[in-house]
Amino acid sequence: MTPPSHSQMRAAVAHGARDVRMEERAVPEPGPGEARVRVRACGLCGSDRHLYALGAYGANVVPGHEIAGVVDALGDGVEGWSTGDAVVVEPLLSCGRCEPCRRGLEAICIEGSIFGVQRDGGFAEHLVVPARRLFRVPTDLAPPVAALAEPAAVAIHGLRRVGMQSGARVLVLGAGPLGLMSLVAAQRLGAERVWISARHEAQAQAAHNLGAGRVLDESEADLGMAPAGERPDIVVETVGGSADTLQVASRAVAPGGGISVLGLFLSDVTLPGYPLFAKEVSVAWSNCYARGQERADFDDAAGLVDEERERLALFTTHSVSLDDVARAYALTDERPDGFVKATVCP
């Protein structure tokens, strides 16, 4: 076991709506089966923006769930890891006993929680997680790119939930970080073509640079009257909030197709019953990620961010220090020229 440390660390702590404050906390020590990670980068995603605005983080919780760093301490019984290993974190805690856990669906564990939402996450210099939640990445992978493994796992899982097959035509609604990651994931899973809708110029340019077949403005994304050959087999919804994108997806998707819902909606949504019925459309909500019998979605996500590191660097556009974490949230609202994604780098 690594000798204990009693030093202090800096952490951003949630205290309510739009209220995240810097505090000094004791550096946490790993218990049996746990590892401590020195955080190098933690991305801020669209769900963080909503949680921050609504004050929906757990009380006195450290936000941040897109975590990349380096192992710097190990608890008793941890094997296969060494201090200095570069890692990304699957930010889940689950019971391991319920039916979803036994099926590898730990994101929907009845007792589950998420690091950075209900438990302390990555907007701090250190955090402790179960060692089984670590996934290895190369030491030369830039931490802001490595931290994209979490949204990559979300995108991969969402596409698998809706039965993504090689040769599929895909439409992604929304070109924020999750939408752009869904574009890359669909390409890697063998899509024949991927179209994407974008609201902001920087997002549209990033989508072009990532090889989107077409970049549509929001008014063009409703393909309900498009010729059959242009209808997407899969529509990936990544906007959420209060958008009407599920209506757009329902009209756009090809007969027999599927809709993957990745966006976090803030209120009840309605779906047009008859078009979905008539076209026999599958609609699959996706929480985050899962583990198969041999591989986890995070395994494939870690490989994706490594192999696609040059392309993914195109949308890690803004990095801020831990002391300036409030600025990271502000950037997601203000969207200055060239902005796609903010990353906190302690």
Global pTM value: 0.94
From first to last of its 346 residues, what are the pLDDT tens digits of the chain?
444 445 899 999 999 999 999 999 999 999 999 999 999 999 999 889 889 999 999 999 999 999 999 999 999 999 999 999 999 999 999 999 999 999 999 999 999 999 999 999 999 999 999 999 999 999 999 999 999 999 999 999 999 999 999 999 999 999 999 999 999 999 999 999 999 999 889 999 999 999 999 999 887 877 655 666 778 999 999 998 888 899 999 999 999 999 999 998 888 998 999 989 999 999 999 989 999 877 899 999 999 999 999 999 988 999 999 999 999 999 998 989 999 999 999 9
Rounded Cα distance, 290 and 174, in Å: 23
Judge residue 242's burial from the number of C-beta atoms within 10 Å of its C-beta, 0-12 exposed, 13-18 middle, 19 or more buried: exposed
Rounded Cα distance, 184 and 205, in Å: 14
Identify the pLDDT of residue 6: 59
Q: Give all domains of the chain, ordered by start, each with its CATH number.
A: 8-148+316-345 (3.90.180.10), 152-285 (3.40.50.720)
Residue 153's SS3 state is: helix
User: Residue 128: CB partners within 8 Å, gap ≥ 6?
Assistant: 28, 29, 30, 31, 34, 35, 36, 37
Identify the pLDDT of residue 267: 86
Rounded Cα distance, 213 and 219, in Å: 17
Residue 125's SS3 state is: coil
Residue with tokens 């008539």: 278
